[in-house]
Amino acid sequence: MSKAGNPQSVRVMGSSSTMKEWAAAISLTIGAAAVGYLAYRTLYSKDKCRKSLVNLDIQKDTPKVVHAFDVEDLGDKAVYCRCWRSKRFPMCDGSHTKHNEETGDNVGPLIIKKREA
């Protein structure tokens, strides 16, 4: 028994604390450490930029997907895909409509047309 006569009292370096006080202090310390770790992981994680891919399956064997077109070859109007879901990529086939419905995104095509004279 401690000096105070309480069987649940613990004496450490001249102070007397109950087991409930120790449990509360340890729980608070563990909770603060967990919150700190999660905050650190969220803010400084190197993988957070790689969580989702935009291009799921187009030319995955190349390091970068690039398409170039001559302006003279475009005709009066060209419609290019920006959602990466088109079966005719890089041209748009309207797949962005389904993509937007499924994901809540708002992506649309890139439309290039000649100015009317």
Q: Give catalytic residues, as residue numbers.
A: 64
Q: Which of 108, 50, 111, 104 is nearest to 84 (CA)?
A: 108
The Cα–Cα gap between 41 and 10 comes to: 36
Q: Scanning the structure block, which residue is given the tokens 């109007």?
A: 77
